[in-house]
Structure 1
Amino acid sequence: MAYTFSHDDIAYLASPPGAAALAEVGDFALTQASLLKDLEQIRRVHGDHAAALVETVRLRRRATAKLEGAQDWFFTDDALQQATPTAVARHRAQRLAGKTVHDITCSIGAELAELARVCPAVIGSDLDPIRLAMATHNLRTRNVLLAKADALVPVSNADVVIADPARRADGKRTHDPAKLQPPLPDLLAAYAGRDLAVKCAPGLDFDKLAWAGEVEVVSLDGAVREACLWSSGLAAPGVTRRATVLSSTAEPWTLTDADPDDIPEREPGEWIIDPDGAVVRAGLVRHYAAKHGLWQLDPRIAYLTGDKVPEGVRGFRILDRMEFREKALRAELHRRDCGPLEILARGVDIDPDALRNRLKPKGSQPHTLVVTRIGRAATVFLCATPMASAVTH
């Protein structure tokens, strides 16, 4: 169970003795195996401060994979889970450069840290006093105004309002806009007529939402991180859907529904390509295919095919195409000395792990199965597994 911080904890951790204690506790392993022994030793030295010290050190270690420059920040467990990764926050801040911005659900300040780099005036507000106290510490070197305020009560005239409604209701993750905290319909009503950017779960049903502006789906290093609803005043002309692909090792790129989407209907080419999740979630599969000279295996399925693979993308070279019949497939895999087996499935009701167990591959050669639906028929493509060196992001 996560530790609950108090104002006294934050005051101590921010003090010179607290900073020294954090440095000392940082030398402990604090792994699952060593935690009880480490905590007992830390308690002997630091008494009632031990739990706050240990939790802060552990959270900082987790934060390094998500947030840049946050080695001396304060977090709660929930706040760290909900914090926007630095790369994603930086991308959004760049779209808002030069504007005054108010983050009305600022939490511990991850978004504000990036906004403060490029915006002339930045305001952060939240109802949680502990998170605000943490944000005050985290942003102490940046020019940011912080205040306690209800997100549904406008308190500033900033050019742009940013919100990140909590995506859990009654302890469960929700995709219902009305069950977000604060509820999305209430949020939109409170800031009607204002330029607004709202961070949402990428699983939200955007068609049901009938958003009048732009929906941007963002991925980072292959994982879809979030969707952002941009009001009409912040959207590019003629754009209602955007996919943005960020990478730690390659240049970012973006695709919109204003790009061409005319693609041919052909038999499968030499390769199968699974587009980035941001492209799929944003509904821009055809646009991606048109950009890279690809086409779809089936108009209703997001798998693409072609005779070449876009640079930096993992492609699966087709070795064979079969009807999906497990007995024949098992025999073919045995004939090919199949061992390690990756199974991708889309448009069919298949559990890849259960299918792999039934196929029982026992050989030495790695392969990939792409199981999908073409027309009404379940079809399997037996593919060569790409080498890791072929993947550049």
Structure 2
Amino acid sequence: MGYPFTVADVAFLGSAEGRAALSAVAELPLTPDSYLADVGRARAVAGERYAAVLETVLLRRRAGTKLAGAADWLCTDDALQQATATPVAEHRAARLAGRDVHDVTCSIGADLIPLARTARRCLGSDLDPVRLAMARHNAAVAGVAPLLVRADALHPVSRGAVVVADPARRSAGGRRVWRPTDFVPPLDQLAEAHRGADLVVKCAPGIDFAVAPWAGEVELVSLDGQVREASLWSGGLTEPGVRRRASVLRTREPGPDGPHWTLVDAVTDAEPDDCPVRRPGEWLVDPDGAVVRAGLVRQYAARHGLGQLDEHIAYLTGDRPPPGIRAFRVLDHGHYSEKALRGELRRRQVGAVEILVRGLDVDPNALRRRLRPTGPAALSVVLTRIGHRPTMLLCQPERT
């Protein structure tokens, strides 16, 4: 649950005295071995607010890889866990550029700040006075000035704006909840409260999308190969004919104006899905998780001239992989059995083996322990099913 910040804590942390204490404590190692001594040092520089200072320094260290500019942000443990990674938040904000936007669950401002940079007008609200105070601090640090009010997401306080919401998906005890009726606020009540408004709701990528019949589009978003979220977009915010979308983001090296990212692929169900089922070609392609979860493997294959190994399996193959991805050059393939695979690894003197499995009941880690590979070579092994036949593909991964 983390330290229970108060509004007074936030005021102190934003003051000159608080900033000096944060700067001093940020220099401490804060390791398990040094922690007792570090606590004493924090007490000396921050007095009764030492716990808030310590927690803030630790949270800032964790937030650095997730939130751009977080070196000077204020946050709580729970808020940081649910906060949208900056590239994902900026991607969503880009879709709403030029609109009036109301973030009704603005929390510490992870979504609000990118929205404020692209929206015509931007309003943020939250019921939690601590998080609202942190959002005000973080917005000022980021150089934006959205209007901030304390309000319940289920009681609208704006009209004519696109409503953006990120319901909490943890119980009061900190456990993750999966049923949309257990979200805070519940998904169905949120949609009903904002009936008639353009609405965007961030959800976990594993949600059953049937629970949101109002959603005109479901967008799965990945960042650097990891599926981060599903966004539910109401009909007024979608393109004609698009019901499902996969957006694939990649970060780039930071520049002088902060972290950079790019949208490397965006696939929708409005695109052609005519792709053949074919024998393994020169390359094997494992589509990004956002493409798979959005059910857009065939559309992705058709776009890039690939075929499926099996119509029910998400592995694709072809003679030329899409640019900018990690693909697998197929060295050999054949019927899979553990004995046959062990023999191939021994023959090729493979000691480092990556095992990928789809469509077969095989535990890669347990299989690797049983194989006990030895040798100087490295190889990727893809185990899958083609029709009813267990198949192994011996591959060399390459960045295209």
What TM-score comes out, normalization by structure 2 length?
0.93
Code of the aligned partner of 1:336: R
Fraction of identical pairs, as percent? 58
Query: Structure 1 stretches (4+) deviating beyond 6 angstroms?
Result: none
Distance 2:134 2:26 in 1: 19
Deviation larger for 17-26 or 313-322: 313-322
Matched, 1:245 2:257: no
What secondary structure does 2:351 align onto? strand
Partners of 2:326 and 2:397 within 8 A in 1:
no
Aligned position for 1:290: 302
What secondary structure does 1:142 align onto? coil
Offset of residue 35 of structure 1: 2.3
Note the 1:124-143 alignment, pairs <5 A. Answer: 124-140=124-140, 141-143=143-145
Distance 1:300 1:172 in 2: 34
Note the 1:95-106 alignment, pairs <5 A. Answer: 95-106=95-106
Aligned position for 1:281: 293
Matched, 1:214 2:244: no
Matched, 1:27 2:27: yes
Distance 1:385 1:142, change over 3 A: closer
Note the 1:46-57 alignment, pairs <5 A. Answer: 46-57=46-57
What secondary structure does 1:172 align onto? coil
Question: Which of residues 381, 384, 388 in structure 2 aligns to 1:369?
Answer: 381
Matched, 1:167 2:179: no
What secondary structure does 2:262 align onto? coil
Partners of 1:366 and 1:385 within 8 A in 2:
no
Distance 1:276 1:385 in 2: 15
Question: Which of residues 198, 208, 228 in structure 2 aligns to 1:225?
Answer: 228
Matched, 1:315 2:327: yes
Aligned position for 1:263: 275
Offset of residue 324 of structure 1: 2.4
Aligned position for 1:191: 194
Question: Which of residues 186, 190, 205 in structure 2 aligns to 1:202?
Answer: 205
Offset of residue 31 of structure 1: 2.7
Distance 1:360 1:35 in 2: 41
Code of the aligned partner of 2:168: A
Deviation larger for 362-371 or 61-70: 61-70
Aligned position for 1:69: 69
**Unaligned segments of structure 1, at least 5 residues:** none
Aligned position for 1:147: 149
Distance 1:313 1:68, change over 3 A: same
Partners of 1:164 and 1:200 within 8 A in 2:
yes
Offset of residue 210 of structure 1: 4.1
Deviation larger for 314-323 or 297-306: 314-323
Partners of 2:214 and 2:235 within 8 A in 1:
no
Partners of 1:102 and 1:158 within 8 A in 2:
no
Distance 1:373 1:33, change over 3 A: farther
Offset of residue 305 of structure 1: 0.6
Aligned position for 1:8: 8
Matched, 1:182 2:193: no
Distance 1:304 1:295 in 2: 5
Distance 2:125 2:388 in 1: 53
Offset of residue 158 of structure 1: 3.7
Offset of residue 271 of structure 1: 1.2
Offset of residue 36 of structure 1: 2.5
Offset of residue 85 of structure 1: 1.1
Deviations 1:171-225 (A, max 9, x none): 4323322222211111111111110000011111224644540111111111111
Code of the aligned partner of 1:218: V
Distance 1:186 1:365, change over 3 A: same
Partners of 2:160 and 2:197 within 8 A in 1:
no
**Unaligned segments of structure 2, at least 5 residues:** 253-260
Distance 2:126 2:218 in 1: 25
Deviation larger for 222-231 or 198-207: 198-207
What secondary structure does 1:384 align onto? strand
Code of the aligned partner of 2:169: R
RMSD: 1.6
Distance 1:116 1:166 in 2: 21
Distance 2:297 2:211 in 1: 20
Offset of residue 32 of structure 1: 3.4
Distance 1:227 1:85 in 2: 13
Code of the aligned partner of 1:251: T
What secondary structure does 1:327 align onto? helix
Question: Which of residues 326, 336, 340 in structure 1 aligns to 2:352?
Answer: 340
Offset of residue 33 of structure 1: 3.4
Deviations 1:93-138 (A, max 9, x none): 1111111111111100111111111112111111111111111211
What secondary structure does 1:251 align onto? strand
Aligned position for 1:40: 40
Deviations 1:232-273 (A, max 9, x none): 000011100111111112631311111111112221111111
Code of the aligned partner of 1:83: A
Deviations 1:54-113 (A, max 9, x none): 111121122221111232110001111111111111111111111111111110011111
Matched, 1:235 2:238: yes
Code of the aligned partner of 2:306: L
Partners of 2:24 and 2:45 within 8 A in 1:
no
Aligned position for 2:396: 384
Code of the aligned partner of 1:316: F
What secondary structure does 2:168 align onto? coil
Distance 1:295 1:33, change over 3 A: farther
